[in-house]
Chains A and B, each alone.
Chain A
């Protein structure tokens, strides 16, 4: 598994993009009062890295993802993808949200085709939609409508909809947060293998320390709102990782301590 992943990484050396978040601050206006959500956040992500962003709920992790995606503009600081400023959304940075947000009026196939259609290249690239559906194992559901899918299947379709664009940076906003624990474990393994095969840079927001440690090779812990980087932890363990790994368990204890939860563990 590891060697296969390495071989893949060699054949696709530049599949992921570097991401630079430089002294980014952001705030929301709520009824005239300014609510700071990000305070002077600087993170530098190498191409092909899998970075988990971990922090208390409502700390501003998701806001940071929206900035990376280009959906919002930061109040201060800069974001760059491979040296070019991020100013607006681009299909090289695709987001998978917590809710699958599939378009209910489109079949599974048409949902996955959305990005190619929006970019006007669907006619010549139809095979990419089929490939993406194969990748997430839902080829036989191509004609189903979203209301006919289970939660896990819907999230897989959302993943295929993102991957069909061959993103350089895959942005995951708690994509497994609403799934049952069994589906969740399966999909975690699938995410890792997709990332190893495709080599894109991955940014995963989660509030689950275990998930972060099983998936990422770097875990960034945020403080309460306004979010600041509290710790930047490297996870040098081969994949597939085991939940019972004492090294990971130790890291998990450390991280929960950083989040102020040591008393409960």
Chain B
């Protein structure tokens, strides 16, 4: 299994770069994973990442894009609950990239 090193500690990742043990996640690891995706993290990025982590804690799954968009709209407002806003933050797919940065598995139904 591949691994990454952040602040002298090693973390296992799978073949697509997703963190294997989500319990090991912290903000430094999130920032490192963001770098590997060429995403520069801003407050707006963290808001989505933290939303995803909360969603995972509540339902034990990473939501599909459509579901993420709707759920974010409900919680953070309609101006953020649309795919344009989310794709601007995470150009290669909000569910896929944001989930990776959040240390979650790839969303079910995401190919």
Q: Decide whether A and B are members of one complex.
A: no
Binding site for B on A (CB under 8 A): none
